[in-house]
Every structure is written in C-alpha cells, then in structure tokens.
Structure 1
Amino acid sequence: MYSRKERRLKKQRKQLIKRTLCLIFVLFIALSGTVYLSKQPSRQTKKQTIVTTVLPASNYENLQKTVVDFQSANSFDKLLTTKKFIGTALIIKNDQIILEKGYGYSNQAAHKKNTVHSHFQIGSIQKSITASLIAQLIEANKLSFQTKLAQFFPNISGSEQITIKQMLSMVSGLTIRSVPSDSTNEQVLLDEYIHQAYGTHTGIFHYAPINYNLLAGVIEKLTNQPYWNVVKNQLLRPGGLDHTNNYTDWFQRANHTTSYQLINQKDYAKAIHPSLNIYAREIGTGSIDMSIGDLYWYYRSLINQKFFSEKISTELYRPFKGEYYSGGLYVHPTYFRSRGEITDQQTLALFDKNAHTAVILMSNEKNNQLQMSAIQSIYSTISHSHVQF
C-alpha cells in the first residue's frame, strides 16, 4: 500500500508526463505548419527591380528590364506620372535606354499594373510588318514595286492600273464598299475584301487599310502560307522577337492588357471587351500585339537592314512627291513617325534614321491630347529638334 504522500507524488508525476506530452504534440503541430507554409508559393507580388543607370539599347535583354536613369530621365518619369499616363514608355537617347517603365493599370479591377512585359495591340503599326514581308518578296524576285495588283486580284475594278508601290504608299485610290462580316476565318475575310474593294483615282494619298489587307493576301498567294506563319518565319524568328503574338489567344495570355475608355477625362471609366473578330478582320493592318521592347527591337532591326537590303529599304521608304507615308511609316527628313490604335489601345512611336534616338508610348487607354503632346515634348528634348506628331 502506498502512503498518502507517495500517492500524491505519483499523481503529480502522471500530470507532469501528460503536460509534457501535450507540449511536445503542440510544438510538433506548430513546426509542421511552419514547414508547410514555407513551402507554399508567396501570394505577394514581388516588387520590380528598377535599374537606375542607362543600359545599351543594342542588347535585346536590356529591353526586358525596368529602367529609370535618375540623371537623364527623372524629369520624363515625373512628366508621365504627373500626366497620369497609362501604359508603358520607352525612351532611348544616344543608343542608351534611359527610361523603360510601366504606368497605371493593365487591369484595374485586379489591381494589376502595367510593366515592361505588358503587351498592347499595335493596330496600324502592323502595316510596317506587312510592308517588310512585301519588301522581302521583292528582294526574292517574286514581284516588284511596279507589279500591278491585277496580277493577283484581276477582278478588282481598276487593279490593272494600281502598283504595289502605290498600295504601300496609300496612293492607289483603293477603297471598300462595306466592312467585312463578323467571321474570324482568314480566307473568308480576304475573299470579302477582294469582292468589296475597288479603285478610284490613283496618285492621291488616301489612308485606306484595304491596301494592306490586300497586300496580306498577296503575301499568302506568293508564299502559300497563312499570313501569321510568314510573319513568324520571316521576321519574328530571324529577328529574335520573343514577345510578339497574334490576336487568337489575346484574352487568355497573362501579359495582355485590358482596354479602357477615357470618358470626360476620367481614367478607367469603362472597360472594353471587344470580340475577336474585330482583330481578325484587320489582317495585315491590326491583329498583332507586342511588348514595348519587341516593338523597338523590330524598328531597330528594320532600320539597320536586318530583314532586307539597303537598296530595297531606300525604295520602300521613299514617299511619293508631296507625301510622307510609305511602307507603313511616316517618313520625315530626320526621323520616322508611326501610330496605331484599335479598341481604345494606342501606340505612338518616333525614332531617328538609325533608331539610336527613340520614344515609344504604348497605352491601354487612348488619350490623344496627353499622349501626343508627351511624345512630341520628350522626343524634341532628347533629339534637340522640332517634331510634329
């Protein structure tokens, strides 16, 4: 028999063991939870690293970085921030990236911000891509600048008088009776364009996308490939352009930007959700999206004859007398100008004759007054010249 004292001590030992086991169990659970949580992916958005010195624009990888050189670009960064620019900006001076940065939201509802990786619809800037493919075919002796449209589409009224050069420069007189259907089938759309197009008075500048819709058709006829396949094989892969896409999966891609409509000077007033057929019917003229780095790299490669010879380039960018437009660009004595807009997204570009000085603004909320005045001011400052957008 145990004494009263022994029974008390035995009871205390049992309680101590029980408490110790409970403590061990609690610690085990706590440590297990910590290990589990440490293995889970972070839900926090990593803050982007900003490079605060200039980077060479001749390196494609540098165009994937956020850059704000505090010595030379701080005032431009403040200008775009103060003006509440929405999109991504790239400024290159003396072949150095001095600013590349996103502003505002790519998706306001999701609080997702624009970055240097954001993609934007380039709209009519794509005409330059179509013109480059035509230039390559000319260099390969598949056609010439003086080839008549009738060689490819003889049923178009006036086509026997219209040259490829006139189409590239928008002086063909081509126009269209009505916009095509809501189809997303490329061949159906091209057939409709051919049926609806007709010529009027050649030799007079008239900005008409039908010129480039039909040039896309010419490219398909001469290559026996879909237009987008030719873009990939002849420009994107040789040019190392990794951040350029066709419209087909635009809304599914993580880097796509939501379009917003500016109403009564209120930003993000209305989100725009266009149907795919709006892009589909812009074959050759507005169905491609790009990052800002890819767009600059395309221009740089283009101007430095990476895609075709200097001889072809000289003729491609020779406007008709008294005009500025040729080959998808507005050609000025010391610089090129380009603009594209579709579904309330807008891209503006100014760059000199070797692309060592350039300003590009890509936006998912078109604001002509803000964006045109900003790009004109910035380019004039860094180039020490007067430009008019």
Structure 2
Amino acid sequence: MINKFSSLLFIIFLISCQNKPDKKKESTIKDKDGNVSEYAVDFTPLTTVYKKKTADDLEIFFNEKFNTKDFSGSFLVAKNGEILYENYSGYAYKEKDIKITAETPIHLASVSKVITAVTVLKLVDEGKLKLDDFVTTILPEFPHKETTVRMLLNHRSGLRNYAYFTDDKGVWDKKKPLTNQDVLRLLATKDIGLESKPGSRFGYCNTNYALLALIIEKVTKKTYTQVLQEKIFDPLGMKHTFVFDNLENKEKVSQSYKNNYLRLAFEFLDQVYGDKNIYSTPRDLLQFDLALYSEKFLSKKMKAEMFKGYSYERKGTKNYGLGIRMLEFETGQKYFFHNGWWHGNTASYVTLQKDSVTLIAISNKFSRKPYQTKRLAPRFGDYPFEFNDEEGE
C-alpha cells in the first residue's frame, strides 16, 4: 500500500514539474559579446508539456508542407522567446557542397525592408529626422517635393520601381552595377515620372527603400552597413547577419537557385540595398523580433506608427504599416508579416505581437513554401484565414 501511494505521489510530482514554467530559461537577447542586451524582455516561460506537444505538431506540419528532400532553407517557430521547432536543409552553395545550417545566412529579399524601416524609426526616436520630413530636405536632388519619409516607409510615394524604369531606353547600361546613389541620380536627371500622386494610394515599390537607405546614410554620416551593425546587429547579437553591398563578394554568400537547383547569376540590380540584400538566419531574426517588444529598442510611439495601417482607399483586409504588411480582420485581430522574393530567394517573417509568436521561413531555392507559414497562425491565436496554396510574395 505504501509503495503504491509513493508511486502515485511520484507521478503527481512528475506531472506537476512538467506543467511548471522552465525556470532555467535565460534571457533570449544577448549582444555581440554574449552579455544580456539592454533590449532583453522577460516573457512568461513555457511549460515542458506545452513545448513538447507544440514541437511535435510543428514537426508534422513541416514534414507535410516543406519536406526536407525538396526544401533548401531554414525554418523556425518560437513563442515567448523560446524556440519550439527549427529545421535546416539543402545547400547554401550546392556546387561547393556547402550545406545550410542554423548559422548559414540566407538572402532575406524584401524581409530586409522590416529592418530598414525599424532603423529609420530608431533615428526618429533619436531626433535625427521626422516621419513627415520632406525627402528633399534630406536628399536635395530628389525631384518630388511633396514626398515625405513616411510615404517611402508605407509605399505611398507614387514612385516607379527602379527594377522597371532601368529597363526604359537610355536610362541605364545594364553592364554596370546599379547603386543606391545611381537610383537617386536617375530619378533626379531622367524623366522617370510617377505612378501616382504622392500620398494618394498604396503602391509597393523597392525604390522607396533604396532611398530610405540613403536617408539613413545622410542623417548619420555613416554607411547603411555601419548604422545597421551599430544599432541593430551588434546590440542584438545578430552575429550571422550582414548587408550585401558589393558584387565582388558574390562568391562568399549563399547562392540563389531555381527550383531544379540551377544556380542563378547575380545581375546589375544586385548591389542596391535597403529594399533587399540583408542576409540573416532565423535565430538572428528571432533576436530582432523579440527586441520589438522592448520600448527601449523602439519607443511605444514609433511602434504604434509602425503597426498601423495607412492605406484604406480600397476595401479589404490587406494593409501596410511602416515596413510591415498586415491583415486587419473584421474581428479586430491583426496579423503582421512581411514576405520576400528576389531571384530564387523567398522568405516569410511573421510576428504575432498579440501572442508573442515568431514564424520564420527562408529559402534560397525557389519555392512558395515559406509563404505557407501563416497556416500556423491559427495554432497560436484567433486568425480567421482562408488558405491559398499558390499565394505569392
């Protein structure tokens, strides 16, 4: 009888321990030197049972939707700063037999815009510029006087995409790499024109973020790369994250492939940064995402500006904040994310702010699979989705 009673107590004790928060959890955000970052935020630790059950579910999801035999890239899901599941497969450089690991930086494509936007917002917090400053007050050669910094951030500038207007006859010699400064000079000296009146409607455009990178450089008197290193990468311990700003280094980075592993060549547009050209890992992006919960990293005011919609000229759930896409449901729930697609690189960054959940998928071999990360959102909160297997960037 005593033995049975003792066994029962042990089982109750074991179950109790499994359902208690993990007190051994350390602060998630550490700086480049391994010290606790000033931007570290305390979340409620998850229970062992929750982590095990969720990890099992996520593994099933990954095997069904991604399949490591076909997927080349990185995948991570975290809640409250704790990684629940991650997977790394494929090749960073197949011809050299370099495989993708947790420490392999992959091109983020347009997910880079989120980091560019946050850098601008941090400069606003520091008083180095204002959201409603006219671009001409910072970049005097810019030809459109009505355009503001905010319009660049929320894609309401009406500008044409540099990837398209450089196709116009006589605008650019495609044998030469295009730079951010070239984009500005072309706008100033060529008859590029506008897609729409500044501030009148939403028009997603890479030119906006190429110019924002120049604005960052102008107001700080430093390179875009230096500023991101000092304000984002080093304080958050993003050791495997960098800006690609020199085509001479193209052999040193993860490559881009078609879905049959045919390697894609770099081209004249591949040196422009701000809108793209940040390479990172899911673990580093998790550090960045967690910092967004800290008002020391980004003020409450700037965060409110970032995570609100600006384009309501058309009815629907889709909207765009300052460097972040969103879906605004009739229930009041909001889903925040940014996708990316550049050459064979596709990426998805999802930040479920209300639920403190981070979903990240990055691929360097063309695949729409990273965009399917949103299928996991209902697993963590009330997101009334209708799913589409063919959804794009």
Q: What is the TM-score with the length of structure 2 in the denominator?
A: 0.72
CA deviation vs aligned residue, 1:55-88 (integer Å, no higher than 9, x gap):
9695258xxxxx9976443313422327832211
Q: Residues 108, 380 of structure 1: CA spacing in aligned structure 2 closer, same or farther, 3 A cutoff?
A: farther
Tell me, yes or no, if structure 1 residue 280 matches structure 2 residue 278. Answer: no
Q: Residues 112, 183 of structure 1: CA spacing in aligned structure 2 closer, same or farther, 3 A cutoff?
A: closer
What is the 5 A alignment of 1:165-314? 165-175=150-160, 178-179=165-166, 182-183=176-177, 187-196=181-190, 198-199=193-194, 200-202=196-198, 203-247=200-244, 248=246, 250-253=249-252, 256-262=253-259, 267-268=260-261, 270-275=262-267, 277-281=268-272, 283-314=273-304
Alignment RMSD, CA only? 3.1
Q: Which amino acid aligns with 2:365?
A: E
Which has the larger share of strand?
1
Q: Which amino acid aligns with 1:379?
A: A
The CA distance in 2 between the partners of 1:176 and 1:101, in whole Å, is 35
Deviation of the 1:251 alpha carbon:
3.6
Q: Which amino acid aligns with 1:298?
A: F
Contact 2:29/2:236, CA 8 A, preserved across alignment? no
Which stretches in structure 2 are left out of the alignment for 5+ residues? 1-21, 31-50, 167-171, 313-317, 328-332
CA deviation vs aligned residue, 1:29-74 (integer Å, no higher than 9, x gap):
xxxxxxxxxxxxxxxxxxxxxxxxx99695258xxxxx99764433
Please name the residue that 2:383 is paired with. Answer: 385
Contact 1:73/1:99, CA 8 A, preserved across alignment? yes
Helix, strand or coil: the match of 1:98? Answer: strand
Larger radius of gyration: 1
Contact 2:68/2:89, CA 8 A, preserved across alignment? no
What is the 5 A alignment of 1:1-389? 59-60=28-29, 71-79=56-64, 80-81=66-67, 84-93=70-79, 95-157=81-143, 159-175=144-160, 178-179=165-166, 182-183=176-177, 187-196=181-190, 198-199=193-194, 200-202=196-198, 203-247=200-244, 248=246, 250-253=249-252, 256-262=253-259, 267-268=260-261, 270-275=262-267, 277-281=268-272, 283-322=273-312, 324-332=319-327, 333-353=333-353, 356-368=356-368, 370-373=369-372, 375-383=373-381, 385-387=383-385
CA deviation vs aligned residue, 1:113-171 (integer Å, no higher than 9, x gap):
322112111111111222122212222222222211221344444x2222221221111
Helix, strand or coil: the match of 2:222? Answer: coil
Which stretches in structure 1 are left out of the alignment for 5+ residues? 1-53, 62-66
Deviation of the 1:360 alpha carbon:
0.8
Deviation of the 1:352 alpha carbon:
0.6
Helix, strand or coil: the match of 1:128? Answer: helix
Q: Residues 195, 138 of structure 1: CA spacing in aligned structure 2 closer, same or farther, 3 A cutoff?
A: farther
The CA distance in 1 between the partners of 2:133 and 2:210, in whole Å, is 17
Q: What is the TM-score with the length of structure 1 in the denominator?
A: 0.72
The CA distance in 2 between the partners of 1:142 and 1:94, in whole Å, is 32
The CA distance in 2 between the partners of 1:144 and 1:83, in whole Å, is 48
Q: Which amino acid aligns with 2:295?
A: Q
Q: Residues 146, 187 of structure 1: CA spacing in aligned structure 2 closer, same or farther, 3 A cutoff?
A: closer
CA deviation vs aligned residue, 1:216-258 (integer Å, no higher than 9, x gap):
22222211112211111222122222111121375444xx432
Q: Residues 118, 176 of structure 1: CA spacing in aligned structure 2 closer, same or farther, 3 A cutoff?
A: closer
Q: Residues 176, 121 of structure 1: CA spacing in aligned structure 2 closer, same or farther, 3 A cutoff?
A: closer
Contact 2:111/2:349, CA 8 A, preserved across alignment? no
The CA distance in 1 between the partners of 2:207 and 2:146, in whole Å, is 16
Contact 2:28/2:287, CA 8 A, preserved across alignment? no
Q: Which amino acid aligns with 1:75?
A: I
Which has the larger share of helix?
1
The CA distance in 1 between the partners of 2:80 and 2:295, in whole Å, is 19
